[in-house]
Chains A and B, each alone.
Chain A
Amino acid sequence: AQRVTQPEKLLSVFKGAPVELKCNYSYSGSPELFWYVQYSRQRLQLLLRHISRESIKGFTADLNKGETSFHLKKPFAQEEDSAMYYCALGASGSARQLTFGSGTQLTVLP
């Protein structure tokens, strides 16, 4: 069975500080991993995906298969990064339904 764990429900950091949102997954096959973000009063949207190895809004995430983790990182947090972040896992070769973690509410303090 697929499972995604985000151990922190709430995370607060000061502006300019580094931020790391943790995500661990459980899946026996080859995973596809995503980070989604929901800003206040906006719809849930894709932030980044591991397969693209991209940096979006200064965020990066590296898939670590040994530790089954996909932590989201940013070296210098900004106030506009305050949002709810969800890690999601897709099973390779399946239909495109995703399993989501419970989310982490990030607050960047001025």
Chain B
Amino acid sequence: DGGITQSPKYLFRKEGQNVTLSCEQNLNHDAMYWYRQDPGQGLRLIYYSQIVNDFQKGDIAEGYSVSREKKESFPLTVTSAQKNPTAFYLCASSPPRQAAGLFFGEGSRLTVL
């Protein structure tokens, strides 16, 4: 079953703890992305990666970190430096043709207590 898998679906953490969200894809896409979805604000780009071992900051990268050691995997770490980490996080990937659009995972909801 091809697609993008995000885990965990729900995550609770205490303030000050780092959290890593997993994103795996078996679509053989080169590009992968992390978005944050907040009510009334739409999706905002955190980080993206066009190829293995390379990634770029998006619009709201502060307090987040990523790695891209494998084509299939693009984990996102929400660090304690992120001031408002409670949010819904979406991972996406895309094939080379931009017109094909993005393929999204089901998302991970992080709540910091």
Contacts and interface: CB of A to CB of B under 8 A. Distances in A.
Interface of A: 4, 6, 9, 32, 34, 36, 43-46, 49, 51-52, 86, 90, 95-103
A97 B42 contact: no
B63 interface: no
Given A43-B105, A44-B90, A86-B43, A95 B50 contact: yes
A100 B99 contact: no
Contacts of A86: 42-43
A96 B42 contact: no
A46 B95 CA distance: 13
B107 A43 contact: yes
Given A43-B107, A102-B40, A95 B99 contact: no
Contacts, number: 50
Contacts of B40: 9, 102
Interface of B: 31, 33, 35, 40-45, 48, 50, 56, 58, 90, 94, 98-99, 101-107
Nearest to B58: A97
A84 to B, nearest CB: 10
A98 B93 CA distance: 11
B102 A46 contact: yes
Nearest to B94: A96
A95 B58 CA distance: 11
B48 A95 contact: yes
A31 B50 CA distance: 20
Contacts of B33: 97
A90 B31 CA distance: 14
A97 B106 CA distance: 18
B48 A46 contact: no
B99 A32 contact: yes
Contact of B42 (A49, A52, A101): A101
Given A43-B107, A45-B104, A98-B102, 10 more contacts: A6-B42, A36-B101, A43-B104, A43-B105, A44-B104, A46-B101, A96-B94, A96-B102, A100-B35, A102-B42
